[in-house]
A and B are shown apart, each in its own frame.
Chain A
Amino acid sequence: MRDKLAIPTLTNLLGTPITDVEGRLRGRVKDVAVGTGSEAGKVAGLVLKTRKGLEVVPATEVRPTPSGAIELRPEATLRPVKGDDSFILLRQDLLDRQIIDVHGRKVVRVNDVDLEWFSHNGGESLRVTEVEVGLRGAVRRLLLGVLPKRALEAVARTFPARVIPWEFVDMIEVDPARRVKLKIEHERLARLHPSDIADILEDLAPAEREAVLTTLDEEVAAEALEEVEPKLQKHMVESLDSEVAAGIVEEMDPSAAADLLAELPEERSEAILEEMDPEERQEVEELLEFREDSAAGRMTTEYIAVPRTATVADGVRALREFDGDPETITEIYLIDDADVLQGVVPLARLVLALPGTRLEVLTDPQFISCQVDEHQQKVAELFDKYNLRALPVLNSAGKLVGVIEADHVIAFLREGR
């Protein structure tokens, strides 16, 4: 078993002398290059500072010696570092930088990086195991050079370690070209809940925020953006390109998109609307006409309405074909030829009924609705009084034009506090 104290961390590795087989000093470790994509976590090479400048040697061509130094294997070749290599440099790109801890769902700062030697095709190679963000890494770096390495490690180990396994580390790269080259796609981040992504975005600096947001899939970005607090939402969209912003705003819930665009300066929102898909654009533009604190200003235009003659099977089909997020749906609306609301069917009743049943049978004799110009306070009162999950919004002719969901009500009630 290898000496427990000899676990190589980035801090310990930096500055380590590298000798050739004859024991001549060739240089010192300056940085550690780590692969990305399919090679993620594998150390591609050690960057040395030699007399000829910066050179890199593959990790498979070196071995650790018992004295703590690193020795080049006989076959080792050093080659100069090129600027366009596609690997992460741990010291330059990771140490002291902010990363996203995808597992803990937050932004943290890197104090140290733990590596390990492992057998590789008969030889030995290095890989990254985890990054340290807690006191242990910090203490190790602070006392490096003050205490001998062994004593230092012993002191550092008295502090609790807070580590993030490498597979949960999501790096942020501001430069788009380098992002592509390093294959930083944030796919694990994208699987988090939109609200968690929003919290993470709120913790980042603007440039980094933009980098993450534009890397994410437009749909994920839109869902996350909806959850970001309004003031910041505005800043974030303002800093984006109109075209990129339009792509994200298109995917947002129309009511959220309208709220957001209403906050932006006129010319900016015009520019974004210009870039949007005509259909989405029209929906958003209609919502923009209304006062923000009216029922229409709070409603969404994504709902499911079927003809009053429809059956349960038709209802289920409509739900399957629904364009928006089906999870937000709590009821299905029955309308006549003139789009006038005729009845409301809660989703639960639809599930319990036989497929051939006519939906009309499942409606309540009376349903609650409100007018487009109703004040939001009144809307909240209706929700409270009738224990509503959703409230259909009608225009003066009784036509169904939108729906307010309970989460919209919670949002504006909290806003008003």
Chain B
Amino acid sequence: MLKRWRTRIVLFLAVLGPGFITANVDNDPNGILTYSQSGAQFGYTLLWTMIPITLALIVVQEMCARMGVVTGKGLSDLIREEFGLRMTVIVMFLLVIVNFGNVIGEFSGIAGSLQLFHLTKYISVPVCAVLVWLLAVRGDYKSVEKIFLAASVFYIAYIVAGVLSQPSWHEALVATVKLPPRSAWRDNTYLYMVIGIIGTTIAPWMQFYLQSSIVEKGVNVKNYGASRLDVIVGSIFTDVVAWFIIVACAATLWVHGSGAIQEAADAAEAMKPLAGRYAFLLFAFGLFNAAFFAASVLPLSTAYVVCEGLGLESGVDKKFKEAPFFYWLYTILIVGGTAVVLIPNFPMVQFMIFSQVLNGILLPIVIVFMLLLINRKDLMGKHTNSHWFNAIAWLTAITVALISFIYVWSLIRR
């Protein structure tokens, strides 16, 4: 009996790979904050987004994994080869801007989570930034990744926190499958939050990161089934965690009328009297783990992706002189992110959600590129998209573009 369980666990862990890691980095402080905020501000009324987003996330991530396996090339490589240098530079430029926003969010998360343990951000953030930098350049990232992966067990903390917050299960479940009243759509802040949730869950950087990881792992077409499962399990896990964060904040902050939060850590702080000390600790520790993990992955992967697309030397195994652009970009992202967070009274929450909205606006562009690439017979052979996949991916791209457009339009009209 014990042995059977053990093989089951081993089988499950063997499946966990790039897809699961990407999904875990996806629940970074920006994500946690966006989910918390939507729960705090709108209660259960945004839960309906979770099912369609999960579906879209699975489809989009699966496309990346499949492209990585079949072509053996990263997404930025493919964009470069098939759409030329100018298009690549534009996409990479947008990606750097958006990712810089994300990096700031990660360091805000580090600041916020350690503030809960009474550590000032003026110490915690620079120390963590140096650690992150050294980790990639001097350390052995692969083994650190395993530690992070083990630490992502802490994401279960959010599920526990959700349960401890004693939500109205009935109301939450109904809200998950029911669309909100039409009046909600006229609310600017509600639209803004929808884009933010989509942008943070299906973040553009994930597509680049996942495809590169799959290529690096060297999965071949025959073993693709396992990678697909990995992607699906990861996507579902991410969104289950997201669902519980929204529920936890809805059940505590929204129900008690505390309204919008000012910092990711506020959610944890606010939860303390309402849901008990353990919920607070779990929330806080989960936040730190997520922030540090994402802060280690994002700047590095951005530097890699950009250098790959532009054909510049990259890699931590190269010396600074051999790959100057790579190191400069990597360093600037970290130092810049740290510097912004250290500005006194920096409006972290507003900025973090804004960065997720930027994610949401860039997303349709990336999906369209992916769709154009994946449906090419000369690249993908018989592994092009099925009609259903195309339909869902196009629908995602068009919907997100439409919501972004409506939002921007309503801003202009105001």
Given contacts A108-B311, A109-B80, A205-B73, contact A141 B86 (CB under 8 A): yes
Q: Establish whether residues B310 and A138, one from each chain, have CB atoms under 8 Å apart when the complex forms.
A: yes
> What is the minimal beta-carbon distance from B319 to any residue of chain A, in angstroms?
14
Q: How distant is the Cα of A141 from the Cα of B90 in the complex, in angstroms?
A: 13
The residue of chain B having its C-beta at the shortest distance from the C-beta of A206 within the complex is: B72
**Which residue of B73, B84, B220 is within 8 Å of A96 (Cβ)?**
B84
Per-residue contact bits, chain A 332-361, to B (CB 8 Å; 1 contact, 0 not): 000000000000000000000000000000
Q: Establish whether residues B85 and A142, one from each chain, have CB atoms under 8 Å apart when the complex forms.
A: yes
Q: Establish whether residues A205 and B85, one from each chain, have CB atoms under 8 Å apart when the complex forms.
A: no
Per-residue contact bits, chain B 298-317, to A (CB 8 Å; 1 contact, 0 not): 00000000000011000000
List, in ascending order, chain B residues with CB within 8 A of A97's CB.
81
> What is the minimal beta-carbon distance from A179 to any residue of chain B, in angstroms?
16
Is A77's CB within 8 Å of the partner chain B? no
Q: Establish whether residues B81 and A231, one from each chain, have CB atoms under 8 Å apart when the complex forms.
A: no
Chain B interface category by residue count: 10 to 19
Chain A: interface residue total (CB-CB under 8 A): 21
List, in ascending order, chain A residues with CB within 8 A of B71's CB.
205, 207
Q: Establish whether residues B218 and A96, one from each chain, have CB atoms under 8 Å apart when the complex forms.
A: no
Is B57's CB within 8 Å of the partner chain A? no
Given contacts A206-B72, A231-B218, A235-B218, contact A111 B311 (CB under 8 A): yes
Is A286's CB within 8 Å of the partner chain B? no
Given contacts A96-B81, A109-B80, contact A235 B310 (CB under 8 A): no
Q: Establish whether residues A239 and B220, one from each chain, have CB atoms under 8 Å apart when the complex forms.
A: yes
> What is the minimal beta-carbon distance from B71 to any residue of chain A, in angstroms?
7
> What is the minimal beta-carbon distance from A15 to any residue of chain B, in angstroms?
13
Q: How distant is the Cα of A231 from the Cα of B219 in the complex, in angstroms?
A: 11
The residue of chain B having its C-beta at the shortest distance from the C-beta of A137 within the complex is: B85
In this complex, the member of B71, B84, B86 whose beta carbon has the largest number of chain A beta carbons within 10 angstroms is: B86
Q: Establish whether residues A141 and B85, one from each chain, have CB atoms under 8 Å apart when the complex forms.
A: yes
> What is the minimal beta-carbon distance from A233 to any residue of chain B, in angstroms?
11
**Which residue of B89, B215, B220 is within 8 Å of A205 (Cβ)?**
B215
Q: Establish whether residues A142 and B81, one from each chain, have CB atoms under 8 Å apart when the complex forms.
A: no
List, in ascending order, chain A residues with CB within 8 A of B81's CB.
96-97
> What is the minimal beta-carbon distance from A408 to any residue of chain B, in angstroms?
24
Q: How distant is the Cα of A95 from the Cα of B218 in the complex, in angstroms?
A: 26
Q: Establish whether residues B80 and A96, one from each chain, have CB atoms under 8 Å apart when the complex forms.
A: yes
Given contacts A96-B84, A142-B89, contact A238 B220 (CB under 8 A): yes
List, in ascending order, chain A residues with CB within 8 A of B215's CB.
205
Is A155's CB within 8 Å of the partner chain B? no
> What is the minimal beta-carbon distance from B241 to any residue of chain A, in angstroms?
32
> What is the minimal beta-carbon distance from A164 to any residue of chain B, in angstroms?
12
Q: Establish whether residues B72 and A207, one from each chain, have CB atoms under 8 Å apart when the complex forms.
A: yes
Q: How distant is the Cα of A142 from the Cα of B89 in the complex, in angstroms?
A: 8
List, in ascending order, chain A residues with CB within 8 A of B84's CB.
95-96, 141
> What is the minimal beta-carbon distance from A133 to any residue of chain B, in angstroms?
7
Which residues A168-227 have CB closer than 8 A to chain B? 205-208
> What is the minimal beta-carbon distance from B396 to any residue of chain A, in angstroms?
27
List, in ascending order, chain B residues with CB within 8 A of A141's CB.
84-86
List, in ascending order, chain A residues with CB within 8 A of B89's CB.
138, 142
Q: Establish whether residues A205 and B72, one from each chain, have CB atoms under 8 Å apart when the complex forms.
A: yes
Q: Establish whether residues B85 and A232, one from each chain, have CB atoms under 8 Å apart when the complex forms.
A: no
> What is the minimal beta-carbon distance from A171 to any residue of chain B, in angstroms?
14
> What is the minimal beta-carbon distance from B216 to any residue of chain A, in angstroms?
10
Q: How distant is the Cα of A207 from the Cα of B86 in the complex, in angstroms?
A: 26
> What is the minimal beta-carbon distance from B273 to any residue of chain A, in angstroms?
51
> What is the minimal beta-carbon distance from B232 to any residue of chain A, in angstroms?
24
The residue of chain A having its C-beta at the shortest distance from the C-beta of B85 within the complex is: A141
Q: Establish whether residues A96 and B85, one from each chain, have CB atoms under 8 Å apart when the complex forms.
A: yes
Q: Establish whether residues A232 and B218, one from each chain, have CB atoms under 8 Å apart when the complex forms.
A: yes
List, in ascending order, chain B residues with CB within 8 A of A95's CB.
84
Q: How distant is the Cα of A97 from the Cα of B88 in the complex, in angstroms?
A: 13
16 contacts across the A-B interface (CB closer than 8 A): A95-B84, A97-B81, A108-B311, A109-B310, A138-B85, A138-B89, A138-B310, A141-B84, A141-B86, A205-B73, A205-B215, A206-B218, A207-B72, A208-B72, A235-B218, A238-B220
- B-side interface residues toward A, CB under 8 Å? 71-73, 77, 80-81, 84-86, 89, 215, 218, 220, 310-311
Given A111-B85, A207-B72, 20 further pairs, Cβ under 8 A: A96-B80, A98-B311, A109-B80, A110-B311, A111-B311, A133-B311, A138-B85, A138-B89, A138-B310, A141-B84, A141-B86, A142-B85, A205-B71, A206-B72, A206-B218, A206-B220, A231-B218, A232-B218, A235-B218, A238-B220
